[in-house]
Structure 1
Amino acid sequence: MIAADLARALDPVLLAKAAGIDPDPWQAKLLRTAPRRALLLCSRQAGKSTVAAFLVLATALYVPNALVVVVSPSQRQSSELFRTIVGYHARLPGVPELVAENTLRAEFANGSRILALPGTERTIRGYAGVDLVVIDEASRVEDELLAAVRPMLATKPKSKLIALTTPAGKRGWFYDAWIGDEKWERVRVSAYDCPRISREHLEEERRSMGPILFSQEYELEFHDDTIAVFPVALIAAAFSPEVRPLW
């Protein structure tokens, strides 16, 4: 049992398999590389919550006294991801046991904790020494959240930040980070990259949702706001860094 646990600590893919999950290639790569900063742009049902759950568990189970914070736009969404994490933990033999649990918090026998919080600047400010932050539905949380999250990671050089989402228009911090030049590991997984989503289902969804919403949720397209008068690209093109302001 000790050898198996050591193997899972060294290779989180084995942790997922021990819970009955056979990761897709992109999930396996992410689990093994465990980047410090990652943006996951994934379609519905592509497996982003599953891979996030095992990244959380790999930290909580094998980093003693670790603190993991999971945030989403609402408490309900944070609680759903939290339930997924706890559910996978229950399938794992020989790992540190839960010694305390409620709908918002789990504490393990090795001293590690997982907190599930709504993703607002007010609710997460004040936490420090965090080993891993997972931002679910990252394109839909307020921009101030990232400014509140970064100081939480400052005192631990190996701390990690993982943001996962589908697109929500050409706005917000996630979109800026996705198209920007800041150093992030960027992972894009459309519905066509997921072997569990059939082409028949996708065609049904396209007919039901319409082309714009379908292309956002399944093909990962960032669209201009439907109420905007001018496209984002046109507005951006109107500005030039070579022109000095008059005042």
Structure 2
Amino acid sequence: MSLTVLQAMHDPFLFGAEFDNPTWTAWEAFLAALLGEAMTDEQKAICATHTGRTDLPLETFRRAALICGRRAGKSRVLALLGTCLATLKDYRPFLSAGEVATVGIIAADRKQARTIFRYVRGLISLVPEMEEEVTRETDEIIEMAGRRVVIEIGTASFRATRGYTYAAVLCDEIAFWRDDSSANPDEEILRALRPGLATIPGSMLLLASSPYARRGVLWKTFKRYYGQKGANTLVWKAATRDMNPEFDKQEERDAYEEDPAAAAAEYGAEFRSDIASFVAPEVVEACTVQGRHELPRDSRVRYVAFVDPSGGSSDSMTLAIAHHENDCAVLDLVRERKAPFSPEATVSDFASVLKSYGLSSVTGDRYGGEWPREQFRKHGITYNLSDKPRSDLYRDLLPLLNSGKAELLDIPVLSRQLCGLERRTGRSGKDNIDHAPGGHDDVANAVAGALLMQRARRMPKFTPAMVQKIAEQGKRESFSVWAR
């Protein structure tokens, strides 16, 4: 007789030693709701609280979203589900010759995905019969050839997730997925996953994360399905201590005192209202000149340049060159040197590019103290300090983009980084604009600096002495017309 997940959870010969504790009561209610099993009155009340529904059907949900605070236990529950789906079901009738059923564990990176993978490995090791079925194992794969099942780690990339036949996909911390190949990685990845889930009847897609900003797949799933009668996707929303009563109360209190908005998301499972996307993708697209990747130097044009320095070990070092034309800031060139790289060699390369555009100076931030100035000086380039931090550069760039008075190059990384910027409201009420957690903005920073430098230099500044001289020359009228 086949076992259910809840039965396996409490079976002393399977996983009972790991989950036979009253602190798992709320998770048992979640599993009963997910799998369409009969519930006690207590479990029904818990489900109503965390799903906003009283009409849960007695059938398994194939899609579910777990929106829970950190340390609530969601990774361990995903591991339990993944292990049971890999070992307690037979997918062979649905597989073609040579095909295997995959239980995919996907996170922002492989290191994070290994958390659930290790839990899975630990659960399998508790059961000798399951352990004997493992025919191959690495740091990222557990293969059971007899069952034709593979448990495998994946990363948040729509390219890497294609081509599999999935029995289940466990998506961990999906609110924080970032991918260099897409401005909306969570949506692209789920779109790539769906065909692989269609082959096996009863395949499951499970999204789990503490919440973040009010955007992306997790937010859209919550808005569409939470509390909706008859919805075919189960959305479970719960604070940390609702699911894990043993979590340290003092740790939670300290977090709320330090940053209430962040703590409400981290431990209260509330989507943040103080974070919003900075610029709409449609605006960036409208400013991008399709097919234009770089403009050659024009001897009639006066250029400016902005650099975002880096030490070469983690962040990219970037350079942008721009000019002004017909009341529009035009981006001419972007260079990015990805880490790891030699900072000295990169400065040398950038200096050559600057000179090829007739430039003998470049502007950048205060990163590295004297180092950038000294290195550029060696190559005959003056390094000027920007009078604005990057957050202010982005703030001043937005009107330029919204008004369509900027021409951007058709460079995907630039579009992704601009679209990935976030506006955060601090306790003081002041907005701060920066990349999202795990994201990058090195290219966007250099481009914003260059476009705004050129904008500032569009018209010469007249001192009072210059105005007086023009007046003395009898050119008041022409100056007035010109100034208008």
1:70-149 mapped onto 2 (5 Å cutoff): 70-95=105-130, 97=132, 98-108=134-144, 109-128=146-165, 130-141=166-177, 142=185, 143-149=187-193
Cα 1:204–1:60 shift into 2, 3 Å:
same
CA distance in 1, matches of 2:6, 2:72: 25
1:179 corresponding residue in structure 2? 223
TM normalised by structure 1 equals 0.81
Deviation at 1:202, TM superposition (A): 1.2
Q: Identical aligned pairs, as a percentage?
A: 26
Q: Choose the corresponding residue for 1:167, options 211, 223, 226.
A: 211
SS of the residue aligned with 2:151? Answer: strand
Deviation at 1:8, TM superposition (A): 6.1
Cα 1:162–1:227 shift into 2, 3 Å:
closer
Cα 1:93–1:8 shift into 2, 3 Å:
farther
Residues 18-76 of structure 1: CA deviation (Å, up to 9, x unaligned): 34223612322333443311100011110000110010011111123542111011111
Cα 1:7–1:226 shift into 2, 3 Å:
closer
- Larger RCO (CA within 8 A; separation ≥ 6): 1
CA distance in 2, matches of 1:8, 1:226: 41
Deviation at 1:216, TM superposition (A): 0.8
Deviation at 1:229, TM superposition (A): 6.6
Deviation at 1:7, TM superposition (A): 4.6
Residues 166-192 of structure 1: CA deviation (Å, up to 9, x unaligned): 111001111101111463111122023
CA distance in 2, matches of 1:133, 1:229: 31
Letter aligned with residue 18 of structure 1 = G
Deviation at 1:146, TM superposition (A): 1.1
For structure 2, the 5+ residue unaligned runs are: 36-60, 92-100, 178-184, 226-230, 280-484
CA distance in 2, matches of 1:18, 1:212: 37
CA distance in 2, matches of 1:132, 1:215: 30
Deviation at 1:150, TM superposition (A): 1.0
1:1-247 mapped onto 2 (5 Å cutoff): 6-7=2-3, 11-14=7-10, 17-22=15-20, 24-32=24-32, 33-34=34-35, 35-65=61-91, 66-95=101-130, 97=132, 98-108=134-144, 109-128=146-165, 130-141=166-177, 142=185, 143-181=187-225, 183-193=232-242, 194-208=244-258, 210-224=259-273, 226=275
Residues 93-144 of structure 1: CA deviation (Å, up to 9, x unaligned): 433532211111111253321011002101101113x111111111122221
Higher alpha-carbon deviation: 133-142 or 59-68: 59-68
Higher alpha-carbon deviation: 64-73 or 46-55: 64-73
For structure 1, the 5+ residue unaligned runs are: 231-247
SS of the residue aligned with 2:113? Answer: helix
Q: Is the 8 A contact 1:168 1:216 kept in 2?
A: yes
2:457 corresponding residue in structure 1? none
Letter aligned with residue 59 of structure 1 = L
Deviation at 1:227, TM superposition (A): 5.9
Q: Is the 8 A contact 1:18 1:91 kept in 2?
A: no
SS of the residue aligned with 1:221? Answer: coil
**CA RMSD between the two structures:** 2.4
Q: Is the 8 A contact 2:213 2:276 kept in 1?
A: no
CA distance in 2, matches of 1:140, 1:36: 23
Bigger Rg over Cα: 2
